[in-house]
Amino acid sequence: MKRKPTFTSWIGSICTAGRTESTPEDTIGDLAYELKSLLHHCRVDREVRKAHVALVNEASGLDMDADEGLFDGETDIIARLVEALDHYAPPYTYFGKNSEAEYGFWPDLDLHSCDEPARIEAGLEHKEYWGGEDVALVNDHGNVSCGRFDKRGRFHSYWSAV
Protein backbone atom coordinates (compact mmCIF):
# COMPACT_ATOMS: atom_id res chain seq x y z
CA MET A 1 0.00 0.00 0.00
CA LYS A 2 1.13 3.56 -0.69
CA ARG A 3 2.50 5.79 2.02
CA LYS A 4 -0.37 7.83 3.43
CA PRO A 5 0.11 11.60 3.08
CA THR A 6 -1.00 13.79 5.98
CA PHE A 7 -3.48 15.44 3.60
CA THR A 8 -5.21 13.75 0.73
CA SER A 9 -7.26 14.99 -2.16
CA TRP A 10 -10.97 14.28 -2.30
CA ILE A 11 -12.49 11.60 -4.46
CA GLY A 12 -13.84 12.80 -7.79
CA SER A 13 -13.09 14.91 -10.82
CA ILE A 14 -10.62 17.78 -10.90
CA CYS A 15 -10.87 18.54 -14.63
CA THR A 16 -12.60 17.36 -17.78
CA ALA A 17 -10.50 16.64 -20.83
CA GLY A 18 -13.45 15.63 -23.01
CA ARG A 19 -15.29 18.95 -23.14
CA THR A 20 -15.49 20.47 -26.59
CA GLU A 21 -14.15 23.79 -25.29
CA SER A 22 -11.39 22.09 -23.27
CA THR A 23 -7.89 22.30 -24.72
CA PRO A 24 -4.74 20.35 -23.84
CA GLU A 25 -3.45 23.61 -22.36
CA ASP A 26 -6.49 23.71 -20.01
CA THR A 27 -5.92 20.11 -18.97
CA ILE A 28 -2.20 20.64 -18.34
CA GLY A 29 -2.95 23.80 -16.35
CA ASP A 30 -5.58 22.04 -14.21
CA LEU A 31 -3.35 19.02 -13.54
CA ALA A 32 -0.34 21.22 -12.72
CA TYR A 33 -2.46 23.35 -10.37
CA GLU A 34 -3.70 20.25 -8.51
CA LEU A 35 -0.15 18.89 -8.21
CA LYS A 36 1.12 22.24 -6.92
CA SER A 37 -1.70 22.34 -4.36
CA LEU A 38 -0.94 18.82 -3.14
CA LEU A 39 2.77 19.66 -2.90
CA HIS A 40 1.81 22.51 -0.60
CA HIS A 41 -0.29 20.30 1.70
CA CYS A 42 1.42 16.88 1.67
CA ARG A 43 4.59 15.55 3.19
CA VAL A 44 6.67 13.72 0.62
CA ASP A 45 10.30 12.72 0.31
CA ARG A 46 12.68 15.49 -0.71
CA GLU A 47 13.58 13.83 -4.02
CA VAL A 48 9.91 13.29 -4.93
CA ARG A 49 9.07 16.90 -4.02
CA LYS A 50 11.97 18.19 -6.13
CA ALA A 51 10.88 16.14 -9.16
CA HIS A 52 7.24 17.21 -8.80
CA VAL A 53 8.14 20.91 -8.40
CA ALA A 54 10.25 20.66 -11.56
CA LEU A 55 7.31 19.04 -13.38
CA VAL A 56 4.93 21.83 -12.29
CA ASN A 57 7.46 24.42 -13.45
CA GLU A 58 7.91 22.63 -16.78
CA ALA A 59 4.13 22.45 -17.29
CA SER A 60 3.75 26.14 -16.43
CA GLY A 61 6.48 27.12 -18.89
CA LEU A 62 5.12 25.32 -21.96
CA ASP A 63 4.40 27.51 -24.97
CA MET A 64 1.41 25.74 -26.45
CA ASP A 65 0.38 28.68 -28.62
CA ALA A 66 3.34 27.93 -30.90
CA ASP A 67 1.66 24.80 -32.30
CA GLU A 68 -1.96 24.10 -33.03
CA GLY A 69 -3.42 20.82 -31.90
CA LEU A 70 -2.06 18.17 -29.59
CA PHE A 71 1.63 17.46 -30.00
CA ASP A 72 3.83 14.77 -28.44
CA GLY A 73 5.16 17.09 -25.75
CA GLU A 74 1.65 17.74 -24.46
CA THR A 75 0.68 14.06 -24.26
CA ASP A 76 3.99 13.34 -22.51
CA ILE A 77 3.53 16.10 -19.92
CA ILE A 78 -0.08 15.03 -19.28
CA ALA A 79 1.07 11.44 -18.72
CA ARG A 80 3.82 12.57 -16.34
CA LEU A 81 1.40 14.84 -14.42
CA VAL A 82 -1.09 11.96 -14.08
CA GLU A 83 1.68 9.68 -12.80
CA ALA A 84 2.82 12.33 -10.31
CA LEU A 85 -0.73 12.94 -9.07
CA ASP A 86 -1.25 9.20 -8.55
CA HIS A 87 1.49 9.42 -5.92
CA TYR A 88 -0.93 11.48 -3.78
CA ALA A 89 -3.95 9.23 -4.23
CA PRO A 90 -5.57 8.17 -0.95
CA PRO A 91 -5.36 4.45 -0.11
CA TYR A 92 -7.39 2.21 -2.46
CA THR A 93 -7.77 4.95 -5.06
CA TYR A 94 -5.91 5.96 -8.19
CA PHE A 95 -5.52 9.14 -10.19
CA GLY A 96 -6.54 8.87 -13.82
CA LYS A 97 -9.22 9.46 -16.42
CA ASN A 98 -12.67 7.89 -16.06
CA SER A 99 -15.08 6.86 -18.82
CA GLU A 100 -16.41 10.44 -19.15
CA ALA A 101 -12.88 11.76 -19.85
CA GLU A 102 -12.66 13.39 -16.41
CA TYR A 103 -9.32 13.37 -14.62
CA GLY A 104 -9.55 12.81 -10.88
CA PHE A 105 -9.06 10.52 -7.91
CA TRP A 106 -11.25 7.42 -8.24
CA PRO A 107 -11.99 4.45 -5.91
CA ASP A 108 -10.14 1.28 -6.84
CA LEU A 109 -11.96 -1.41 -4.87
CA ASP A 110 -12.61 -3.69 -7.81
CA LEU A 111 -9.03 -4.88 -8.00
CA HIS A 112 -9.23 -8.21 -6.24
CA SER A 113 -5.74 -8.01 -4.82
CA CYS A 114 -4.46 -9.48 -1.60
CA ASP A 115 -4.26 -6.08 0.08
CA GLU A 116 -7.86 -5.10 -0.75
CA PRO A 117 -9.75 -3.94 2.34
CA ALA A 118 -12.35 -6.27 3.81
CA ARG A 119 -15.89 -5.27 2.76
CA ILE A 120 -18.17 -5.17 5.77
CA GLU A 121 -21.69 -3.95 6.46
CA ALA A 122 -21.90 -0.44 7.88
CA GLY A 123 -23.77 0.16 11.13
CA LEU A 124 -22.73 -3.05 12.87
CA GLU A 125 -20.02 -3.53 15.49
CA HIS A 126 -17.02 -5.30 13.99
CA LYS A 127 -14.62 -5.89 16.89
CA GLU A 128 -12.53 -8.32 14.84
CA TYR A 129 -11.36 -5.35 12.73
CA TRP A 130 -10.44 -3.09 15.66
CA GLY A 131 -6.76 -2.29 15.77
CA GLY A 132 -5.92 -0.87 12.38
CA GLU A 133 -6.93 -3.27 9.61
CA ASP A 134 -8.24 -1.43 6.54
CA VAL A 135 -11.93 -1.99 5.77
CA ALA A 136 -14.56 -0.77 3.33
CA LEU A 137 -17.86 -0.07 5.11
CA VAL A 138 -20.76 -0.52 2.69
CA ASN A 139 -24.27 0.54 3.66
CA ASP A 140 -27.59 -0.71 2.25
CA HIS A 141 -27.59 2.08 -0.38
CA GLY A 142 -24.15 1.11 -1.71
CA ASN A 143 -22.28 4.07 -0.20
CA VAL A 144 -18.70 3.18 0.70
CA SER A 145 -16.38 4.54 3.38
CA CYS A 146 -12.83 3.24 3.26
CA GLY A 147 -10.69 3.50 6.37
CA ARG A 148 -9.70 1.67 9.51
CA PHE A 149 -10.89 1.09 13.06
CA ASP A 150 -8.57 2.08 15.90
CA LYS A 151 -8.14 -0.06 19.04
CA ARG A 152 -11.15 1.62 20.68
CA GLY A 153 -13.47 0.92 17.77
CA ARG A 154 -13.52 4.43 16.31
CA PHE A 155 -13.59 4.52 12.53
CA HIS A 156 -11.04 6.76 10.75
CA SER A 157 -12.05 7.33 7.14
CA TYR A 158 -9.56 7.71 4.29
CA TRP A 159 -12.39 8.60 1.91
CA SER A 160 -16.10 8.10 1.29
CA ALA A 161 -18.08 7.76 -1.93
CA VAL A 162 -21.82 8.01 -2.44
pLDDT digits (tens, 9 = 90+) for 17-76: 765 567 778 889 899 999 999 998 888 899 999 999 999 999 988 765 555 554 556 788
Whole-model pTM: value is 0.75
Q: Does the residue 53 lie in any domain?
A: yes
Shared domain check, 89 and 63: yes
C-alpha to C-alpha distance for 91 and 55, rounded to whole angstroms = 23
pLDDT score for 9: 62
Q: Look at residue 53 in the predicted model and tell me its pLDDT.
A: 94
On whether both 21 and 101 belong to a single domain, the answer is: yes
Q: Give pLDDT, residue 79.
A: 92
Helix (H), strand (E) at residue 105? strand 102-107
At 68-80, the pLDDT tens digits run: 554 556 788 999 9
- The residue segments making up the domain with residue 41 are 12-107
Rounded Cα gap, residues 24 and 104, in angstroms:
16
For residues 154 and 152, give the distance between their C-alpha atoms in angstroms, rounded to a whole number: 6
For residue 157, give the 3-state DSSP assignment.
Answer: strand
Please count the other Cβ atoms lying within 10 Å of the Cβ belonging to residue 117: 20
For 31-50, letters b (16+ CB in 10 Å) and e give: bbebbbebbeebebeeeeee
Largest CA distance in the chain: 61
Is residue 15 scored above 60 in pLDDT?
Answer: yes
Are both 50 and 77 inside the same structural domain?
Answer: yes
Tell me: do 94 and 53 sit in the same domain.
yes
Residue 65 pLDDT: 56
Q: Is the same domain home to 102 and 132?
A: no
